[in-house]
A = this chain, B = another copy of it.
Amino acid sequence: MTGSEPEEPEHYRVISRERLAKLRESESVTFSSRTQQSAALLERGRNSMVKGVPMAWMHGLYRHPCLFVDSGAGSTFRDVDGNSYVDFNVVDLAMTMGFANPHINDAVNRAMNTGAHFLLPVAEAIDVSEELARRTGVPFWQFTLAASGANTEVVRIARALTGRNKVMVFDGHYHGHLDDTLVARAGGKVGPDGLGLPKGVENNAEIVAFNDLAAAETVLRQGEIAVVMTEPALSNCTLVKPDPGFLSGLYDLAHQHGALLCLDEAHNFSFAYGGLKRAWDLPCDFLVLGKGLGSGVSFGLYGLSAPVAAFVDAHTAIDLGEAGVATGGTTYASTIAVFAAKAALEEVLTPGAYERLEGLGLRLSSGLQDVFDELDLPWRALHLGPRSGYCMQAAEPRNGAEAYRSIDVDLIAARRLFMANRGIWEAMPTAGPQVSFVHTEAEVDQYLGLAREFLHAVRVQGTE
């Protein structure tokens, strides 16, 4: 049966496509029967929302009908049918502090009582900036509404500072909802990543392979790159770690060729105390944080080196006066965002919490490796801090193209249904599983048990 799909990569052969298809079908029936209230809401939703949901693209995330959620607490949420799910996607890392975290709830409550927004600073914004400067080593900070907004400002500042136009990103990147980085490489050429992007958007970006300094240098040498933007470890195409020296080499090359380097830690900041910037002592010109640092509250932040901050200071617009860098955002730095950020940094994202998280992440990834080994699957469990992942070959991926070989859509779709029907919310197709600050060892073990059961059910019997 496995030979029936000619494009199927070699390393998928350990999975029986027949058993997978059968399992997916039966799990799908179970899922439907368990989620009838959700289905009814979805039907009602279709009369006033595209695809029945508040963002149509959310429909495209799951390959099964969207659930409607009732509520969540800690690591777990409950749908409107009363089913519970331990979330191993951690809401795409927007909720690494857990649902209804009391520290964050208290901070937001105080913010609402203080007044949600003023378009004037509150003193706590200084506390946040000082703490981020201390923790990351990046000295100056600015607020936005999300990492997308932060990356937007970064690109604009870099363009204004360097007088250049292009952004360099890596295969497998995702930096949010801005035009400039919504590009992908197809057939060796850069093209728009989706419909409706502005004409010529592909001329504003270059895409190279991660961990390939020579390729980066070839592009940088052309002198058109304003800023190189990357996650320290790519987290949107399973998990790709940098080779030793790659990121500092990239910084040196960028500077040698008149470009700046931005580290996007919207996801990575949950991977280690102070982010990978601190953990790996990385040099950079910009550091981007997002997902409300994992609190579920909408805000992003970007850090600036002293020279970049001095440039922005000298090129800040005066309303109805001199033009400056096109930064903006009248709803940025709300009291909600500032208070949540302060509580997150001071009360949740402590060294002790990261230490515990590290232990849980190790339990998850080493446990997953044990499952692979036990089932004779020649795979590797990815691991970085709280993040694990299914690498369907023995060697870890070194770039996006290699990582995508382990994104087996059918396997993931079946696994998600299987897991959901047994109380686990599985990762986005391109991510995790990942533990949050509030997961427990028992929940990790529950995940591992189900992963074993699932893989046992779908592997080719000959490998037994």
Residues of A participating in the B interface, judged by any CB pair closer than 8 Å? 41, 44-45, 47-61, 63, 66-73, 77, 80, 89, 91-92, 94-95, 99-100, 104-105, 108-109, 112-123, 125-126, 129-130, 132-133, 139-146, 148-149, 152, 155-160, 165, 176-177, 179-180, 182, 192-200, 203-204, 290-292, 295-299, 304, 309, 312-313, 315-321, 323-338, 407, 409, 428-430
Q: Which residues of B contact A63 (CB under 8 A)?
A: 318-319
Q: Which residues of B contact A312 (CB under 8 A)?
A: 50, 56
Most-contacted residue by chain B among A69, A149, A180 (CB, 10 A): A69
Q: Is the CB of A297 within 8 A of B336?
A: yes
* Known pairs A199-B204, A315-B195, A329-B148; A121 contacts B295 (CB<8 A): no
Q: Which residues of B contact A49 (CB under 8 A)?
A: 125-126, 129, 140-142
Most-contacted residue by chain B among A129, A143, A165, A182 (CB, 10 A): A129
Q: Is the CB of B120 within 8 A of A324?
A: no
* Known pairs A50-B313, A100-B114, A165-B198; A430 contacts B338 (CB<8 A): no
- Oligomeric state, in number of copies? 2
* Known pairs A104-B116, A129-B45; A94 contacts B331 (CB<8 A): yes
Q: Which of B116, B120, B428 contacts A297 (CB 8 A)?
A: B116
Q: Is the CB of B51 within 8 A of A313?
A: yes
Distance in Å: Cβ of A428 to nearest Cβ of chain B: 7
Q: Which residues of B contact A68 (CB under 8 A)?
A: 120-123
Q: For the complex, what is the distance from the CA of A80 to the CA of B126, rounded to whole Å?
A: 14
Q: For the complex, what is the distance from the CA of A125 to the CA of B58, rounded to whole Å?
A: 13
Q: For the complex, what is the distance from the CA of A120 to the CA of B53, rounded to whole Å?
A: 8
User: A94: nearest residue on chain B (CB-CB)?
Assistant: B117
Q: Which 7 A-B residue pairings sit nearest by Cβ, starting from the closest?
A: A194-B326, A116-B296, A156-B196, A72-B115, A99-B115, A48-B129, A54-B333
User: A143: nearest residue on chain B (CB-CB)?
Assistant: B54
Q: For the complex, what is the distance from the CA of A315 to the CA of B196, rounded to whole Å?
A: 11
User: A93: nearest residue on chain B (CB-CB)?
Assistant: B330
Q: Is the CB of B57 within 8 A of A320?
A: no
Q: Which of B48, B70, B94 contacts A140 (CB 8 A)?
A: B48
Q: For the complex, what is the distance from the CA of A309 to the CA of B46, rounded to whole Å?
A: 10
Q: Is the CB of A92 within 8 A of B330?
A: yes
Q: Which residues of B contact A334 (CB under 8 A)?
A: 296-298
Q: Which of B41, B140, B182, B330 contacts A123 (CB 8 A)?
A: B41
Distance in Å: Cβ of A168 to nearest Cβ of chain B: 14
